[in-house]
Structure formats: structure tokens, C-alpha cells
């Protein structure tokens, strides 16, 4: 019997949703950083085995949104509730419940699909605290299962997959069995660049950055992909930080992004980076749409 279905991954920012997705798929399909709100779009990862096909949907962190960009991110996440067969709700072992978690619980009240609660990062939790924590959380919602795990090390991830397989119905193969994401190469390249900006810069810079891939040209004869990308920021001062002294920061962003892309794409990369100011773009609905932040209807 071939099983298949869609599984949404939800939770507040920075609880390990993308780390879990990457571990399960075995490929880096979603960028990860230690900073909250790294994921802005819904990212698909496809798990293919002899038992069937699980399509995971990684979502932006659900939080109290104020700017149009943040409201878009939350809408992307919440819209997933209606599109899946199972929801994975991730909380942190060392900070399991706060205001954002409580609001997620409220939004789950009318959900008809099974919800599995994942207590992530248990590798940093004292063992004697785990059972009381599980007992406390089980009273908050009728979860199908509560599974402690570590998305970083993979501890108990196989247990999670077994639970998912047991719940999923018999179904078709939605995607070819050699496909692990529906994200385009252009999207993945832009996300890698944005990840390096997030990791290398501080304060408001990561959250004021959008990367647009202007060109993506393959030269098979030279085993080379030529890319040209623009890093958009909101203020001139941010542009100066991204460029750095004598271009040092922009060069480092480009070097780290290029090296990771070469590993991912399995070919040489020639990357050109530019920085442009798009004033207050995170608050402008029209510019958000231009940058690809459109909620799927």
C-alpha cells in the first residue's frame, strides 16, 4: 500500500522548523539561522521512500505581526492549516509556552486534522524535567501524539516519521520520486544569499533585506552558472553596512554564498552582488508583491 499526504510544520519563530525539515529530507531545502523570522515563505520538502511520499510544508514563525511583511509571513503559515493531512506543532523544550504558542493553540481549536506536538531541543533539557513538561502540555490541546526530539541531532525523528506513516492514508505519488522540493533553483540561490546576510550582519539589517536574483544563466560547456543578484535594503545606512569598509562585507557575503551554492548545485558559480535601497519596502504592499511576497489564494 502506497501512502501519501501533506504535513504542515508550524510554531513560533526560531523553534527549529526548518532544521527539522532539512534533517528529514536530507537536503538543505530551507535556510536556517539562529535568528527568528528567518523563514518568510512556505517551503516544500518531499520525503520519498518505499512506503510512500510525505510532502512537508515548512512555514514562517507565527507571531504577533505589525508590518505588512510580518503579516504576510503569519498569513502564509496559518493558511497551511487548511491544506494538510497532519500538523506538526513545534515548541522549545527550554521555553515551551509563551504568548505566541498560546495564540497558536487558540487558532487550532477548529482544526479537523490531527496535531502532533513536538518538543524540540530536548538535548538542552534536564532529563528529570521532561515527563512533568509532557504532562503539563498534554492538557492544553487534544494532541494526537507528543514527541520529544532534537531536530539538530535527529534524536527521535524516526519515531516521528513512524507516527506520520501510521496516520497517513493510502494515496497517489504527487511528485516524481527523485524530487525533494518544488522550490526553483533561482529561489534557492536567493535564499542562500539572504541566509549569509542574516548570519553576517546584526541589528535590524537581516530583517530589512530582500534578495532578488536578476539573472541565472547556465553555461554547460564551462560547467558554470552565472548569477547576478541584488540585495535590497530600506535605508542608505543599511546599504553602507551591507557593503562594508572597502566592500569587505559584500565580498564576504558573496564568497560564503558562492561556496555553498557550488556545493549545492555541483558546479562552479560566478556570482555578482549589488546593493540597492528600496525605501521602507517591508511596509509597502506593492513592493512586497514585486519581491514575491504574495499570499497563495
Whole-number pLDDT of residue 297: 44
Residues 161 and 200 in one domain: no
Residues 262 and 150 in one domain: no
Residues 147 and 237 in one domain: no
Residues 8 and 150 in one domain: yes
Parts of the chain with a pLDDT under 50:
297
82 lies in some domain: yes
122 lies in some domain: yes
CA distances in angstroms from 135 to 70, 97, 125, 140, 143, listed in the order given: 33, 13, 15, 10, 12
CA distances in angstroms from 103 to 97, 199, 260, listed in the order given: 10, 29, 37
Task: Kindly state the helix (H) or strand (E) to which residue 195 belongs, with its residue range.
Answer: helix 185-200
Residues 149 and 221 in one domain: no
Whole-number pLDDT of residue 277: 97
The 10s digit of each residue's pLDDT in 20-51 is 999 999 999 998 888 888 988 899 999 999 99
CATH code of the domain containing 145:
3.40.50.300
46 lies in some domain: yes
CA distances in angstroms from 98 to 62, 103, 104, 289, listed in the order given: 12, 9, 10, 32
* 42 grid coordinates: 512556505
Question: How many angstroms separate the CA atoms of 192 and 32, rounded?
Answer: 9
Widest CA span in the chain: 61
Residues 146 and 192 in one domain: no
Residues 13 and 157 in one domain: yes
Distance from CA of residue 278 to its chain's centroid? 24
Counting Cα atoms < 13 Å in the Cβ hemisphere of 76 gives: 24
CATH code of the domain containing 253:
3.30.300.20
Q: Is the CA virtual torsion 134, 156, 55, 172 positive or negative?
A: negative
* pTM score, whole prediction: 0.90
Report the DSSP pairing between strands 145-148 and 268-277. Answer: unpaired
CB 268 within 8 A of CB 219: no
Whole-number pLDDT of residue 191: 95
Whole-number pLDDT of residue 296: 52
Provide the domain count of the chain. 2
> Which residues form the domain of 44?
3-167
Q: Which residues of 256-293 are buried (b: 16+ CB within 10 A; e: fewer)?
A: bbbebbeeebeeebebebebeebeebbebeebbeebeb
The 10s digit of each residue's pLDDT in 236-276 is 999 999 999 999 999 999 999 999 999 999 999 999 999 99
Residues 19 and 131 in one domain: yes
Residues 36 and 122 in one domain: yes
Amino acid at each position: 500500500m502506497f501512502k501519501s499526504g501533506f504535513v504542515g510544520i508550524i510554531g513560533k519563530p526560531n523553534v527549529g522548523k526548518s532544521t527539522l525539515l532539512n534533517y528529514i529530507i536530507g537536503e538543505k531545502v530551507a535556510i536556517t539561522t539562529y535568528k527568528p523570522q528567518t523563514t518568510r515563505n512556505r517551503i516544500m520538502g518531499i520525503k520519498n521512500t518505499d512506503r510512500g511520499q510525505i510532502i512537508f510544508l515548512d512555514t514562517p514563525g507565527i507571531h504577533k505581526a505589525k508590518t505588512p511583511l510580518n503579516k504576510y509571513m503569519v498569513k502564509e503559515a496559518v493558511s497551511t492549516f487548511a491544506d494538510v493531512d497532519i500538523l506538526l506543532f513545534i515548541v522549545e523544550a527550554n521555553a515551551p509556552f509563551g504568548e505566541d504558542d498560546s495564540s497558536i493553540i487558540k487558532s487550532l481549536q477548529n482544526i479537523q486534522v490531527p496535531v502532533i506536538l513536538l518538543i524540540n531541543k530536548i538535548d538542552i533539557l534536564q532529563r528529570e524535567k521532561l515527563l512533568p513538561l509532557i504532562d503539563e502540555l498534554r492538557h492544553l490541546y487534544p494532541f494526537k501524539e507528543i514527541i520529544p526530539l532534537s531536530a539538530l541531532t535527529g534524536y527521535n525523528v524516526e519515531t516521528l516519521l513512524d507516527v506520520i506513516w501510521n496516520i497517513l492514508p493510502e494515496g497517489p505519488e504527487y511528485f516524481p520520486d527523485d524530487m525533494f522540493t518544488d522550490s526553483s533553483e533561482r529561489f534557492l540561490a536567493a535564499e542562500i544569499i539572504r541566509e549569509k546576510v542574516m548570519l553576517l550582519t546584526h541589528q535590524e539589517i537581516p530583517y530589512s533585506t530582500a534578495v532578488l536574483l536578476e539573472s541565472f544563466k547556465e553555461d554547460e560547456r564551462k560547467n558554470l552558472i552565472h548569477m547576478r543578484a541584488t540585495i535590497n535594503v530600506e535605508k542608505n545606512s543599511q546599504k553602507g553596512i551591507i557593503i562594508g569598509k572597502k566592500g569587505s562585507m559584500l565580498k564576504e557575503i558573496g564568497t560564503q554564498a558562492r561556496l555553498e551554492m557550488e556545493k549545492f548545485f555541483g558546479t562552479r558559480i560566478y556570482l555578482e552582488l549589488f546593493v540597492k535601497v528600496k525605501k521602507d519596502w517591508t511596509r509597502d504592499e506593492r513592493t512586497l508583491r514585486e519581491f514575491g511576497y504574495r499570499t497563495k489564494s
